[in-house]
Amino acid sequence: MGVSKADLVFVKSATVTDTNANGGRKSYSAIANRQKFNLFPRVTRPERMAGITRYRKEFLWNKNASLETAFSVLAYMLLPSPAGDRFYLAAGTQSDAQGDIDASYQWAGGGALNSAITAGAQAVSIMFKNNDYAIDNAKTLVINSHFLTGQTIDAGVKAFDAVYYDGSKWIAQSAPNSDAEDVYPYGTYLGSNKVFSYNSNGNIEYLITQNNSYTNEILYAGNGSQTVFTGQTTDHTPVKANTASVKYTIGGQNYTATDNGSGAITGTSISSGTINYESGAVAVTLSAAPDNSTNITIDYTERCYSWSGNVATIKTVEQLANNYATANTYCGVAITLGDIKTSVSNKAITGSGAFDETKIVLDNIGTVDDTWTLTFTSATAFNCVGTLEGSVGTGAINSAFTPTNANTGQKYLQIPANAWSGTWATGNTLQIKTGPAAATLWLKEVVPAGTGAFSENGTLMEIYVE
């Protein structure tokens, strides 16, 4: 039947602190939807005055009991914080901790539509809360206009409460089941008389950002004596960093110089070289002149976005199918989580026995991230120890081995008798790694120094599953 909304649960990481140890493996502690401080703690006045950046890790756990896969999952933020802080979203690993976070983590986010869109357009202008959000080529951009503005709200309803439209106003009331959540007449109150609710007047689109590459564009012509070349630009701008390759010929030999991601061009016989990613201007000085009647050319990829202050204009592959107004439309850059399912990998054997790891049966609820070592105590018997879970019992190759995860009551894994073959002996080992049916996300909250108090703060994140 496939994965349902009720099968997908957010849980915290095993360690939740404000230290480098924060994060790590998946816990079993669920994160309640719409609940205050469900993941991040209250920001104190001293923290607001001094400024703080805080990280929290969460796991999207696919608990489908029939072992179904959650396919092609995306996660994205739509609604930016209404307070002076801002939130970011990045992909993580099953075991990374806050101390592992480095420049390779790409922090995406969402914002309000900055300019109205007419159907057929291939560019979207988004007002972010800062200009340091990660945007990239060939990524999914989500546009959602299911935000109802100017609504009548019952007294006592607070921001991020579950609400129901009773025919005249929105009242505090939860949907009868998870599938009805945020589907009209149910929704989430966002404050300022705005409600998020999937309704017949709204639209949602998933678009891919452009990723156009160009080759052999001529920048300059060599004449056998000139070594300094300036003044020419690429035909398409802006240029994506780390994609520029400048090609030239000296003494009949072809050479290629490349950009370093910071605007410098380096390569054989290049004394100095620069590229302005925004304007596309390329300048190179060579220690030897390119050959007469040869061209200096460039290969590069056009960057799909440009910033003007906190507004990013993003080009898309597809034409937008609908019109969108700024008042009720928000956009998010999606994090690709892929298929959420269990996995087995890294088989290693000592001894002459054989093992077919494809026969292992994993469980969406019981399987964890761990490396298991099965050590033989005779020709048929073994014990099983997880690097993290510890000892989970003993088994034999002539019957199914099914250790139970005490936290869930479901199996860590099941090894059937037909997975074993060959001859095993005392001291032989089998090692395998299992992965849970969970995807990892890091969230980052940045509170600039001097941020004002705001009691009804929050953000809106959505999950898409094929």
pLDDT at 441 over 70: yes
pLDDT at 1 over 80: no
**Structure token digits, residue 121:** 């357009």
Indicate whether 23 and 105 sit together in one domain: yes
pLDDT of residue 21: 98
Do 272 and 228 touch, CB atoms closer than 8 A?
Answer: no
Sign of the torsion angle spanned by Cα atoms 355, 357, 359, 362: positive
Domain count, the chain: 3
Examine residue 159 and state whether it is found in any structural domain, yes or no: no
Q: Which amino acid does the sequence have at 46? A: P
Percent residues over pLDDT 70 in the chain: 100
Give me the residues paired with residue 168 across strands: none
pLDDT of residue 163: 98
B/e letters for 119-132, b = 16+ CB within 10 Å, e = fewer, are: eebeebbbbbbeee
pLDDT of residue 456: 87
Question: Average pLDDT in the 431-447 region?
Answer: 98
Examine residue 296 and state whether it is found in any structural domain, yes or no: yes
Examine residue 290 and state whether it is found in any structural domain, yes or no: yes
Examine residue 142 and state whether it is found in any structural domain, yes or no: yes
The pLDDT tens digits of the residues spanning 372-411 come to: 999 999 999 999 999 999 999 999 999 999 999 999 999 9
pLDDT of residue 294: 98
Q: Last residue of some domain: 303, 328, 353?
A: 303
pLDDT at 2 over 90: no
Do 456 and 159 touch, CB atoms closer than 8 A?
Answer: yes
CA angle 6, 8, 9 (to 5 degrees): 105
Q: Of the candidates 19, 224, 205, which has an alpha carbon nearest to the alpha carbon of residue 113?
A: 205
Indicate whether 421 and 369 sit together in one domain: yes
Question: What is the residue-averaged pLDDT of the chain?
Answer: 97
Give me the residues paired with residue 194 across strands: 191
Indicate whether 452 and 328 sit together in one domain: yes
List the domain range (segments joined by +) for residue 295.
Answer: 213-303
Examine residue 250 and state whether it is found in any structural domain, yes or no: yes
Indicate whether 51 and 122 sit together in one domain: yes
The pLDDT tens digits of the residues spanning 16-73 come to: 999 999 999 999 999 998 888 999 999 999 999 999 999 999 999 999 999 999 999 9
Indicate whether 281 and 411 sit together in one domain: no
Furthest C-alpha separation in the chain: 81
Indicate whether 60 and 135 sit together in one domain: yes
Q: How far apart are CA 197 and CA 200, in angstroms?
A: 10
Predicted structure pTM score: 0.93
Q: Last residue of some domain: 303, 325, 360?
A: 303
Q: Which amino acid does the sequence have at 403? A: P
Indicate whether 323 and 351 sit together in one domain: no
Examine residue 289 and state whether it is found in any structural domain, yes or no: yes
The pLDDT tens digits of the residues spanning 215-237 come to: 999 999 999 999 999 999 999 99
Examine residue 367 and state whether it is found in any structural domain, yes or no: yes
Q: Of the candidates 288, 294, 299, 292, which has an alpha carbon nearest to the alpha carbon of residue 246?
A: 299
CATH code of 289's domain? 2.60.40
Indicate whether 17 and 127 sit together in one domain: yes
Examine residue 399 and state whether it is found in any structural domain, yes or no: yes
The pLDDT tens digits of the residues spanning 243-253 come to: 999 999 999 99
Question: Average pLDDT in the 353-373 region?
Answer: 98
Indicate whether 322 and 387 sit together in one domain: no
The pLDDT tens digits of the residues spanning 165-221 come to: 999 999 999 999 999 999 999 999 999 999 999 999 999 999 999 999 999 999 999
Do 330 and 142 touch, CB atoms closer than 8 A?
Answer: no
Indicate whether 230 and 298 sit together in one domain: yes
Q: How far apart are CA 444 and CA 86, in angstroms?
A: 8
Number of Cβ atoms within 10 Å of the Cβ of 387: 12
Q: Last residue of some domain: 303, 331, 351?
A: 303
Q: Starting at the earlier edge strand, list the strands of the sheet with 253-259.
A: 213-221, 295-301, 245-250, 253-259, 265-266
**Structure token digits, residue 317:** 């592959």
Q: Which residues contact 155 (CB under 8 A, 6 or more apart)?
A: none
Indicate whether 113 and 10 sit together in one domain: yes
Indicate whether 249 and 115 sit together in one domain: no
